[in-house]
Chains A and B, each alone.
Chain A
Amino acid sequence: MVIYGVALLAFCMLIGIILGELLGRLIGIEANIGGIGIAMILLVILSNYLKKSFRLGDVTEQGIHFWSAIYIPIVVAMAAKQNVIAAIDGGLIAVFAGGISVVLSFLLVPLISRIGKS
């Protein structure tokens, strides 16, 4: 059933967000620490485990594949609701602070990629 896939996905997301909130409270900040990342790891572990013990049916998988496929359109909608005007209004200081940090971070990608590579 398609709903099983959607429900599994939603379950992972809720657990992840709850754990992320708890992690934030433990450290004493009002922020979610990696909730979505935790949800993703949970889904990876669950799906790897479930596949071995009993197969998630093809139809069940469709409930997850749909959301994974609708991802790019959602990102387009996300881009369309950004506060572009505010970003431009920030002026030079915002452009420098944001722009230089992006350029330097790009440059670090190949350097860090070497860490722990066997």
Chain B
Amino acid sequence: MNYFELLESVLSKNGLITAFVFVGCVVWISYYLSEKLSKGRFHGSAIAIMLGLLLAYVGGLLTGGSSGIADITLLSGVGLLGGAMFRDFAIVATAYGVKLEELKKAGKAGVVSLFLGVGLSFFVGAATAILFGYTDAVSITTIGAGAVTYIVGPVTGTALNAESDVVALSVAAGLIKSMLVMIATPFVAKYIGLDNPRSAMIFGGLMGTTSGVAAGLAATDPKLVPYGAMTATFYTGIGCLLAPSILYLLVSVVYA
């Protein structure tokens, strides 16, 4: 009887349960490090998210796959636990207890931030593409769309028939954005006034990457999560709407 095979089959057959144990250990180690090394000043959840990204890197190195640590068969349940379905379910749950008045108060600024956020990120991405020598409107638009989010990039690229390496670049730009928001938010929060529901909604609208905003705010102040997440979930949709249409037309006026 092979004990390792037995263990492996039990763990992978019960993938989601294995993921609970695995993530529980990661969170426990992170809070332990936070307490021991920084006396709690460095938030435990911020460490946990960075540790998660590090594990994703290790997983990618070991397997060559695209789903981080979840590509290791034993830990495939992490992919389910961290997938869009559970993430969105938990995000919706955080809205429970939110006051309607808070939403109304920040409504107008939230909408403004959404359109400004999509426009600004697209412009920066497109300008970078031009700086690096791209001269065709399709590539410039696709890379610009990638700077909006890593979903808007490929959606736009597919709609415009962009080259696959350009689409890959746009996904990479979106991933960099999402990871930077996850890591940097707790550090810059106090300098940009990110300490109330109103600024959290504006932050969500400007950044837009749901995963980045969700993790960044969780590491800053979990009470702010529902406000930021609420506006952020509109961002990708608006990006998919604007990038292949109005924004592409704008770019093609200059770069025919």
Contact = CB atoms under 8 A, between A and B. Distances in A.
Interface of A: 9-10, 12-13, 16, 20, 23-24, 27, 29-37, 39-41, 43-45, 47-48, 61, 64-68, 70-102, 104-110, 112-113, 115-117
B91 A94 contact: no
A12 B55 CA distance: 33
Interface of B: 19-20, 23-24, 26-27, 45, 48-53, 55-57, 59-61, 66-70, 78-79, 81-83, 86-100, 103, 108-109, 112-113, 116-117, 120-121, 124-125, 128-129, 131-132, 143-144, 146-147, 151, 155, 168-169, 171-182, 184, 188, 192-194, 198-199, 202-203, 206-207, 210-211, 214-215, 218, 222, 225-226, 229-234, 236-238, 240-241
Contacts of B82: 74-81
Given A33-B234, A33-B241, A37-B234, A76 B92 contact: no
Specify which of B91, B95, B109 lies most central, judged by the most chain A CB atoms within 10 Å of its CB: B95
A115 B26 CA distance: 40
A76 B52 contact: yes
A92 B61 CA distance: 20
Could you tell me the dominant secondary structure of chain A's interface residues? helix
Given A75-B82, A84-B68, A112-B206, 18 more contacts: A24-B237, A32-B237, A36-B210, A64-B93, A71-B218, A72-B222, A75-B87, A82-B211, A87-B179, A94-B169, A96-B131, A98-B173, A101-B124, A106-B184, A107-B192, A109-B193, A113-B109, A116-B108
A67 B90 contact: yes
A31 B240 contact: yes
Contacts of A74: 81-82, 86-87, 90
B237 A83 contact: no
A70 B180 CA distance: 23
B124 A100 contact: yes
28 contacts: A31-B237, A32-B237, A37-B234, A41-B95, A44-B95, A47-B96, A66-B93, A71-B93, A71-B214, A74-B81, A78-B215, A79-B215, A81-B78, A86-B60, A89-B172, A90-B173, A93-B129, A94-B175, A96-B132, A97-B124, A97-B147, A97-B177, A98-B176, A99-B176, A101-B177, A105-B206, A108-B113, A108-B117
B241 A40 contact: no
Given A84-B56, A105-B207, A113 B193 contact: yes
A41 B230 contact: yes
